[in-house]
Amino acid sequence: MNTIPSVNLSDFISNNSVRKQNFVDAIGKAYEEIGFVALKGHFLDNTLVENLYKEIKSFFSLPTEIKQKYEIPNIGGQRGYVSFGKESAKGKKEGDLKEFWHFGQYVQNNKQLENEYPKNVNVEELPEFNKIGKEAYLMLEKTAKYVLRALALYLGLEETYFDSYIYNGNSILRPIHYPPIKEEPKEAVRAAAHGDINLITLLMGAQGKGLQVQNNKGEWIDAIAQPDELMINVGDMLSRHTNNKLKSTIHRVVNPPKELWGTSRYSIPFFMHPVSDMKLNVLEGCIDDNTPKAFKDTTAGEFLTERLIELGLIKK
Ligand SMILES: O=C(O)CCC(=O)C(=O)O
Ligand SMILES: [Fe+2]
């Protein structure tokens, strides 16, 4: 497969059972083959998207000393600001050429999870940043809920199988700034090849060139979305849970050609995580004689901690 298939969420939420089933089949097939789809018909409207980019650009344009006020120690970069070069892909020593921000869950009616998650960080200089970030978080979370419902049906589970795991889940919205490149990077790239940690990722900002996805022949193909599309991919948690039936595809963000070094890239992934006590044990329905259980039992919380250590965001 050399292109990313495109699907429309309005088919899934229509009351037409044929359209709904077609959506389920198309997204399931895409995730078995390439692990990525471009999705139209999501819940983010144009005004929200424009406002979000405006706020994010304002934030990353703030002086470094101000941004660093929002870099919180000892929380593995899970909220607030993470400065340039700090995160590296699993197995790579060079830091990625990016800085980013994390908005986390807005917990409802659950004191235990409120205490478990780090608190969201407010940017005093930009009151709208906090408000628009929350709105986008909620719309992406809602979109992701429907995508997971479609995948539950594809896997032969109850449609609402994932709902209780993602309600108040440990999802994060990560606006990323890849600044202009000033000198020849030695080994470093904007984002080195990696698989995402979480259940699924909804990516805003894949409209320009840069994001590449590895197909099953090992070739890198460009993943470019239309203006109204989100790129959505399977992460390692869902791939484990489904015994690799749904693929967590390796992807990267390459550096632009030299004539475009002067331009920034902004992208905004929403990493959908479940609550930390969700068991990621391989689903019975995904094991058979030809596909024995390939992953050890673990929980989402244990798996996340293991991976944040590998990314250099928390110390052992
Ligand atoms: O910037 C992008 O387009 C992709 C970023 C990404 O893959 C990630 O942050 O996991
Ligand atoms: Fe990624």
- For the segment 198-231, what is each residue's pLDDT rounded down to a tens digit? 999 999 998 889 999 999 899 999 999 999 999 9
CA of 60 to the centre of ligand 2 (A): 20
pLDDT tens figures, 125-183: 999 999 999 999 999 999 999 999 999 999 999 999 999 999 999 999 999 999 999 88
Q: Where are the domains of the chain?
A: 6-310
Cβ(269) – ligand 1 distance below 6 Å: yes
> Alpha-carbon distance 143 to 235, whole Å?
16
pLDDT tens figures, 243-256: 999 999 999 999 99
pLDDT of residue 188: 87
Torsion angles phi and psi, residue 299, rounded to 5: -110, 165
Fill in the DSSP letter of residue 109: S
CA of 157 to the centre of ligand 1 (A): 29
CA of 176 to the centre of ligand 1 (A): 8
Q: What is the ipTM of this complex?
A: 0.98
Torsion angles phi and psi, residue 103, rounded to 5: -95, 135
pLDDT of residue 273: 98
pLDDT of residue 96: 87
CA of 185 to the centre of ligand 1 (A): 19
pTM value?
A: 0.96
Ligand 1 atom at shortest distance from the alpha carbon of 271 = 10
CATH class, range 6-310: mainly beta
Cβ(176) – ligand 1 distance below 6 Å: yes
Asked whether 193 and 254 are in contact (CB, 8 A), the reply is no
Q: Give bridge partners of residue 172 from the DSSP assignment.
A: 271
Cβ(231) – ligand 1 distance below 6 Å: no
Position 3 confidence tier, pLDDT thresholds 50, 70, 90: confident
What are the tokens at 294? 């390939």
Cβ(196) – ligand 1 distance below 6 Å: yes
CA of 101 to the centre of ligand 2 (A): 15
Cβ(191) – ligand 1 distance below 6 Å: yes
Cβ(203) – ligand 1 distance below 6 Å: yes
Asked whether 37 and 6 are in contact (CB, 8 A), the reply is yes
Ligand 1 atom at shortest distance from the alpha carbon of 231 = 3
Q: Has residue 91 got a pLDDT over 90?
A: no
Sheet with 251-253: strands ordered across: 191-194, 251-253, 211-214, 220-222
Asked whether 132 and 51 are in contact (CB, 8 A), the reply is yes
What are the tokens at 139? 């719309």
Cβ(82) – ligand 1 distance below 6 Å: no
Ligand 1 atom at shortest distance from the alpha carbon of 178 = 1
